[in-house]
Chain A
């Protein structure tokens, strides 16, 4: 048992996550009552559970509150430009297929400016894991409207209430062809850990939406409570239904937050498709010169064999 007087005991025992966190950057910048720290804890636990080596994991994030996750995790971490974490991660994964590449970014980063990249990466079924923390607002820049802000919610760029229909993130991911689609809130800590472990081991594009409270901006502008009040409200509104159709479960101000693992398919990944294509062509020709001359465009004609003197 410990209380404030047990400083000596605390020195001997370290928090179990200290080897995966960049302790020289603690305490982190996230607000009191923000769900991001919980998301990071569950992520680290999930990786542990999946048995994935920390040395072979790379994490890529974009810009925003969630984008700061890369800076606090002691993995090969890349903090890239706004919205472009997914193509960066695709390049990283395809160049070194032994890595487990995770994209950890926010709803605005992945679905507003980065929306195109997300749907194409899902379409290609690149083997990366995308964890999108949805706090319904642009937190870092002070509370502007996000593509997930519910209709009628207030934000700094919607002072008369949001007038746009929000995106249903799991619906978009599932419709784009992701192999694994799940939604949880930060309250579902254990289920989230299991989900992340499942996604990390799974081949293909895995998408997990984590609904998280934003204490400083969204809660203040809309619910008038603390981060805890918002989290309790999410908890009371959440319903677990793995059989739900992901395209039919939007998140509005007051409806049920349907959580669960909605899509868990086995599809060939981008790289597997590439390899299958090469194999089918290679089997037809005995050497590459023959393959080339049979391709429709060669754009060059060989005239001589190489001679050492370049001036001839």
Chain B
């Protein structure tokens, strides 16, 4: 059928649609989802696109099934994705933990809305950031990317797939309802110009392959179902053969690696945008949609004579601790505007420690910051006032 239907050109496109197009461009051919405002459009677009590309779209009966389904599809060798919002991630957390433990590449899009609980379905927020890091029980490494425009939503979907394939884990794409429903110019290059990474398949023979044997990069080689490897993989703590083992040694071998494989590659994963950092007194650390409200606020503060720098976290998790620690030595303080009551601000504060002050500009969600509020906090930090 229409196997070559690539979308490319310059478009005036909604954020959710850009995400779906990014997934298709990255090679995603399985989408399992459940409708939830504001992420339903991603599912609808995938329902339209995937069947004609020999892919699979299935609307599961709930988010828990969606997450289990995309893990299954990934083990069959197909790139898979699901899209949901805060309440859906809460449901998916157990299976996200399964994906982390089994080291399954897939992408989970969280188009954040007003939280907690049912919250504000048709409005936005950024209050699921900590959940993306610590949502499922146990220790594991986590990658979360935050787009701030439909163009970036497209680009970061491809990046999310690349990270998930390279590091073998579910990657979170933490958009919000504003970016998801905003319509802006999106430029989609032809597929040949995109950088797509695929998972590393094993080249060992079937009787030598161990599913969780790893090398220096701490990432095991992949083998998909049906290739004759006949491996076993489980959510229980397992050894290199994939067999469950209830001993401390096995837990020590299995679990710290899940954290370390992200920690050791933080330079590759951590994407940051910075402007005017050199010589700044105050740095505004933001991500997602609140970075766009931070920019005019910074201009207003600059007119008042304060030297303000702009640091946008494109990768929020793993948190760029070294960067913040280093910057903290030279600045008076950090200002963190975010559409929640202080989540990433806690991380900034932890890293800035005693060297610099950290002030959050909280907002419970449902709207955007007033520029004056951000400017006021910038002024407070610049003049060394603490609460």
A residues with a Cβ closer than 8 A to B are 22, 24-25, 54-56, 58, 60, 70-71, 74-81, 84-96, 98-99, 116-117, 120, 270, 274, 277-278, 282, 287-289, 291-292, 295, 297, 299-307, 310
Contact = CB atoms under 8 A, between A and B. Distances in A.
A117 B71 CA distance: 15
B362 interface: no
B228 interface: yes
Given A99-B226, A299-B13, A300-B12, A81 B68 contact: yes
A295 B47 CA distance: 12
Contacts of B102: 78
13 contacts: A55-B228, A77-B230, A78-B233, A79-B244, A88-B68, A90-B65, A91-B30, A91-B70, A270-B58, A277-B51, A282-B1, A299-B183, A302-B12
Nearest to B10: A304
A55 B232 contact: no
A90 B226 contact: no
What are the nearest 3 A-B pairs in CB distance?
A: A91-B72, A91-B69, A87-B65
Interface stretch (B187-195, B254-262, B273-281): B187-195
A23 to B, nearest CB: 12
A282 B45 CA distance: 17
Nearest to B62: A116
B51 A84 contact: no
B353 interface: no
Contact of A71 (B74, B94, B232): B232
Given A95-B80, A120-B65, A295-B48, A303 B14 contact: no
A283 to B, nearest CB: 11
A56 B226 contact: yes
A192 B329 CA distance: 72
- Please indicate which of the listed interface residues B9, B10, B62, B72 has the most CB atoms of chain A within 10 Å of its own CB: B72
Given A91-B30, A278-B1, A292-B48, A77 B232 contact: yes
B248 interface: no
A117 B61 contact: yes
B76 interface: yes
A91 B48 CA distance: 19
Given A76-B225, A78-B233, A80-B98, A300 B13 contact: yes
A302 B235 contact: no
Given A84-B64, A87-B68, A116-B61, A92 B73 contact: yes
A106 B11 CA distance: 51
B231 interface: yes
Contacts of A270: 58
A271 to B, nearest CB: 8
Given A95-B56, A95-B77, A282-B1, A299 B233 contact: no
Contact of B11 (A80, A278, A282, A301): A301
A54 B230 contact: yes
A306 B8 contact: yes
Contact of B73 (A76, A94, A98, A300): A94
Contact of A91 (B41, B80, B236): B80
A282 B51 CA distance: 11
A295 B94 CA distance: 37
B234 A71 contact: yes
Given A88-B72, A278-B1, A306-B187, A94 B244 contact: no
Given A58-B226, A79-B235, A306 B190 contact: yes
B371 interface: no
Contacts of B98: 80-81, 84
A120 B187 CA distance: 39
A90 B5 CA distance: 27
Contacts of A288: 2, 5, 52
B10 to A, nearest CB: 4
Interface residues of B, number: 68
Interface centre among B61, B74, B225, B227 (most CB of A within 10 A): B225
A217 B234 CA distance: 26
A288 B53 CA distance: 11
A179 B51 CA distance: 25
A287 B1 CA distance: 9
A91 B66 CA distance: 9
B178 to A, nearest CB: 16
Given A80-B235, A87-B65, A87-B68, A303 B185 contact: yes
Contacts of B30: 91, 94-95
Nearest to A83: B64
A303 B10 contact: yes
B223 to A, nearest CB: 9
Given A25-B243, A55-B230, A94-B56, A302 B62 contact: no
Given A79-B232, A301-B12, A306-B190, A84 B65 contact: yes
A75 B74 CA distance: 17
B148 interface: no
Contacts of A60: 72
Given A81-B94, A90-B72, A71 B52 contact: no
Nearest to B41: A299
Interface in B135-189: 183, 185-189
Most buried by B among A270, A305, A306: A306
Given A78-B75, A292-B48, A300-B14, 5 more contacts: A22-B232, A55-B230, A79-B244, A96-B78, A288-B2
A305 B9 CA distance: 5
Contacts of B71: 80, 88, 91
Given A81-B94, A278-B1, A282-B1, A96 B230 contact: no
A277 B9 CA distance: 29
Contacts of B1: 278, 282
A304 B71 CA distance: 38
Contacts of B72: 60, 78, 87-93, 95
B94 A76 contact: no
Contacts of A307: 10
Nearest to B66: A87
B95 A84 contact: yes
Interface in B82-113: 94-95, 98, 102
Contacts of A302: 9-12
